[in-house]
Structure formats: structure tokens, C-alpha cells
Chain A
Amino acid sequence: MFNKRFLSPKVSQKISYAILFCATILAIIPVSIIVFIIIKNGASAITWEFLTSMPKDGMRGGGIFPAIIGTLSIVLCAITITLPIGVCAAIYLNEYAKDNLLTRVIKLAIVNLAGVPSVVYGLFGLGIFVMFLQLGVSIVAGALTLSIMELPVIITTARGALSSVPHSFREASLSLGVSRWQTIRHVVLPNALPGILTGAILSIARVSGETAPIMFTAAAFYVPHLPKSAFDQVMALPYHLYIISTQIPNMPRNIIFGTALVLLMMVLSMSLIAIIARIYFRKRRKW
């Protein structure tokens, strides 16, 4: 990069490191500014009433309670579906699968599932769950759509957790005559559990902010009551933010910022909990 005739290697190292440092600052400062802007403008809107009451005056007043409940119900429903399937898939890949064509195809499928655009998941969910299976625009349809979307993330993190359990654990159990599944069930899984759970929390956080997949499958513009069953349409926080920031004229700014702040805090605090839990469990690990 720097010709040594002009600069000694030491000086060029210093300059290069400074450039790399500036690039890192450039990567993280704008995002920090985004978070700061939302906190600064949104904090004034956050009151107990805002969090726990229904919207009023065509969303221009009142609170965002139904949107919070809606998002929570879709997201929790989705993780309940994905977690067992994803963990089983990870067990298959890590404990049973041999290095053959099938395994390679599964891995390729996971990579691709992770790369499918969120709006395409929305299309798929609309086509198969809402229309073909006739679930209608509902919590279930949205949750099923999101559960397929988060499957690759769950599989990947669960697999990482399983593969970090040392081989000697399995060998000790197998050598005592314990069957393969029993070994997985009583030795491998308990040791991998913290890793699997932090992965699950992280994925709940990510999915809570998704708008495109639930736009046509679960979310409604406005529902005057809380969902009564899993087949109801619901309001959802990210979709609500999209609606009030683009579709409703004369929307009070602090309500939009307040909604953005609630969504952001929900997502960031869950992610932070997962990250801290991961650091804690790694330190405590005995092997």
C-alpha cells in the first residue's frame, strides 16, 4: 500500500492502523447516532399509559398496547414451533449425519433458507398458510412464516452449541453401554442447553423486528381489541411503525419516535441479554 521509499515500514504501519481504526469508527458511529436520535426524540412519549392503552383518534393518540401484545404473541408462537424442530435438525447434523451427499444438500438448504429475502417469506406464507391452508391472516399464519424464517438461525446456533460439547463426554457415556439417543438426551443436550437457549433468545429478538414476512400473513392496520385466539389478525409493532410513519398524515412525531423506541428497546435488550448470557456461560464452562 505504501511505498517503502517514501515511508519506513513502521510509519506505514502506524498510518494503516489509524486508517483501520477510522473505518471501524465509521462503521459504528452512524448506528449509535440512529439509536441516540430515537432515544432523544422518543423518550418523552414513553409513559405507562402509552405502553398499556389502545390507540385513539386514528392512531394519533393513545398507546400501542395491542401492537406490543400482537408482536409478542406472533414471535413466541413462532419460537415454540421452531425450537424443537431446529434442535432436532441440529442433533441430526451434529450427532447422526455422515459426510455424504444428503448431508451436503441439507447444509446447502440451510444456507439458502438463511438467504431468502424476508419479503419472499411473506409471499410464501401468504400463498401457503393464508390461502392454501386457509388459516387466513392470523397469528398462526404469521408465526408459521416466521418459524421457517428463523429455522436456519436456530439450527446453526444449536449445532454450534452441540459441537462444543467435548467428544470425551459422549465416549464415556457410550462406553458404559448407554444408547446413542440416551447419551444425547442425558449428556450432550444438558451441556449444550445454555448455548441453544441464548441462540433462541437472539433469534426471537431478530424476528421481533421483521415487518415484511408478517405484512400479508398476520398484521392488521388496526384492530380495536386484543387477540382472542390464534386465528385472529393482530397489530404488530414493526408494521405499526411502518404504517404510522408513512401512511398517516399529521401523525405526532413523538408517538412515531416512541413506537420506534419501544421496538428498538425490545429488540436490543433481548439481544443484549443473550450476548451477556453467552459470555457468562462460556466463562463458567468446565471444559
Chain B
Amino acid sequence: MSTEDYLKDITEIKVLMDKSSRFFSLSGLSGILAGIYAIVGAAIAYYLVSISGRDYLILHGKIFNYILIDLVAIAFLSVLTAALLSSRKARKNNETLWNSASRRLLTAFLIPLITGGIFIIIKIYNHHYGLTGSLMLIFYGLALVNASKYTIGNVKYLGYVEIILGLICAVFPTYGFWFWVLGFGVMHILYGSLIYFKHDR
């Protein structure tokens, strides 16, 4: 075999190692859209609270239920967009959306996220909802860091940023809303654009 053959071997080994263990078709555009949904959703929540006549929330009130629906809608739309656009990108990359790498990615992502979700719901029902924004950011950040080993590696930096925002937010819980907008809105748009310009086109 010639040197060229061996070089080709090494390249192929690297490609197969990456392809078999990481899911690369995460769509950057879906990150940008998720950020926009978050900002629109936050604006709706802000409006709802402002017309309620109070500048704080009470549990079991009508406004509180509307805000919950608002949150669920943002999450649902973001997940749907991510699945649709990533599946399109996977087709383009000759990768399947549902393979062993994406399954591992999803498991690694969901374990911290669902733990955090349940924890937040328990706290809300115990009337401790002052730290909800901070907890959402922290658990989401941990989920990203945990999932990053099965996808584009720099997802972990977005995770670190979310964790740090969450911790600062815990110190200033009255600004929870704005930290939430920064973490879920602005950061998604920034990071989504980064992926979009680097990998999508």
C-alpha cells in the first residue's frame, strides 16, 4: 500500500468514529427560531402580567394558567421546529434522524432536563416559585453540557453560559424574567446563528 492509501485509511477511521458516535445534523436555524419563540412568548407573558394590575404572579390565578400555556407552547414549538429542521438537515447529510447517535444524544439531554422539570413543578406546588427562571436555566444548561459529547462539541459552551446565567439569576431572583429572556431568547439566537453560518450552509 502507498502512503496515500494509508492517509485515506486514517481519514476514513476518523470520519467513521465521529459519524458513529455523534449526531451532527443539529439545525442552527431551529436554534434561531427557538430563540424568537422564547422572546415572543416572554413578551406575551409580560403583557399578561402587566394587564393583571399586579406586578407579580399569584399561583392558581387565571393569568398564571395563561402563562403556563404560553410556556408549554414555546417548548412544544421549539421541539417541533428542531425535529423538523434537523430531520431535513440529516437527509441532506445522508444521515438518519433516528440512529444510535441521536438516541444517545436525546437520552443524555433529557435526563437532566426532566429531573429539573419535575423539581420545578414540585417547587411551584409548594409555593416556591421565586427561583423558577434560575432553575430552568441551570437544568437546561446541565442538559446541554451532558448532551454535547454526542453532537457538535461546542454545544457545551452554550450550556456553560446557561448555567452561569442561572446562577447569577439565583442571586438576583427579581430579575428572573430578564435572565430567562437572555438565556432562552438571545442566547439561542446568537448560538443558532453561529451554527447556521458554520455548519448549515
A and B from one assembly? no
Which residues does B use to contact A, with CB under 8 Å?
none
- Interface residues of chain A, those whose CB is within 8 Å of chain B, are none
